[in-house]
């Protein structure tokens, strides 16, 4: 809702407007993961216009892309953070959104996503993604397992997420992890 307010697509009263645009890709399919805090999760019955506890009201992609360009050019936004769920066409939809943003704007783009193959990471870099976010949502492997790991029936594991973070760090060359 904060992002839509900055983009002028919703009337939102804000004392402190966000400078990052959070762009959740909307799908009417539930995510194949089952993170226990998330409205999109496979085991959730919550409204799909939410993710975690935030409201993500679907809007026309072209209107969002053009408003994003204007907001960045005028200094209202410093970054766009794309977030996706794990569903059959997530990759095609994500690439389409990144390409449309890059065709219109030089706004820095981050992608929040589950661990990806090196090949996918390299394609994302070549498309102009500046940063990759791989959320752990927990600070120990035991908590991870309870919140979004095997215990939830989802596909994620602490080990695979750690491996994904290390590979993404190396490929994006932002910093060197102490291993």
Binding interface with ligand SF4 (CB under 6 A): 31, 33, 35, 38, 40-41, 51, 85-86, 114, 148
State the minimum distance, in angstroms, from the CB of residue 154 to ligand SF4.
Answer: 7
State the minimum distance, in angstroms, from the CB of residue 115 to ligand SF4.
Answer: 11
Question: 124 or 147: whose CB is closer to ligand SF4?
Answer: 147
From CA 34, how far away is CA 165, in angstroms rounded?
20
From CA 52, how far away is CA 17, in angstroms rounded?
20
From CA 51, how far away is CA 86, in angstroms rounded?
13
State the minimum distance, in angstroms, from the CB of residue 1 to ligand SF4.
Answer: 18
Question: 41 or 129: whose CB is closer to ligand SF4?
Answer: 41
State the minimum distance, in angstroms, from the CB of residue 75 to ligand SF4.
Answer: 30
Q: How far is CA 64 from CA 1, 4, 18, 109, 113, in A?
A: 13, 8, 15, 14, 20
State the minimum distance, in angstroms, from the CB of residue 8 to ligand SF4.
Answer: 27
Which one, of 156, 126, 121, 125, lies nearest residue 141 by Cα? 156
From CA 160, how far away is CA 172, in angstroms rounded?
18
Question: 21 or 31: whose CB is closer to ligand SF4?
Answer: 31
Report the chain's terminal Cα–Cα distance, integer Å.
39
Question: 71 or 81: whose CB is closer to ligand SF4?
Answer: 81
From CA 163, how far away is CA 161, in angstroms rounded?
5
Question: 78 or 133: whose CB is closer to ligand SF4?
Answer: 133
State the minimum distance, in angstroms, from the CB of residue 149 to ligand SF4.
Answer: 11
- The kind and range of the H/E element at 148 are helix 141-148
């Amino acid at each position: 809702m904060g992002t839509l307010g900055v983009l002028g697509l919703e009337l939102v009263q804000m004392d402190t407007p966000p400078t990052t645009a959070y762009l959740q890709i909307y799908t009417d399919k539930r995510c194949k993961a089952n993170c226990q805090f998330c409205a999109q999760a496979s085991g959730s019955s919550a409204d799909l216009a939410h993710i975690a506890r935030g409201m993500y009201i679907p809007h026309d992609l072209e209107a969002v892309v053009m408003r994003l360009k204007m907001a960045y050019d005028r200094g209202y936004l410093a970054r766009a953070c794309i977030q996706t769920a794990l569903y059959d066409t997530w990759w095609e939809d994500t690439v389409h959104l990144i390409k449309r943003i890059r065709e219109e704007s030089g706004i820095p783009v981050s992608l929040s996503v589950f661990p990806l193959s090196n090949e996918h990471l390299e394609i994302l870099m070549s498309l102009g993604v500046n940063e990759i976010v791989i959320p752990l949502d927990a600070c120990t492997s035991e908590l991870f397992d309870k919140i979004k790991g095997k215990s939830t029936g989802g596909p994620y594991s602490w080990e695979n997420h750690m491996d994904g973070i290390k590979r993404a760090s190396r490929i994006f060359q932002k910093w060197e992890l102490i291993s």
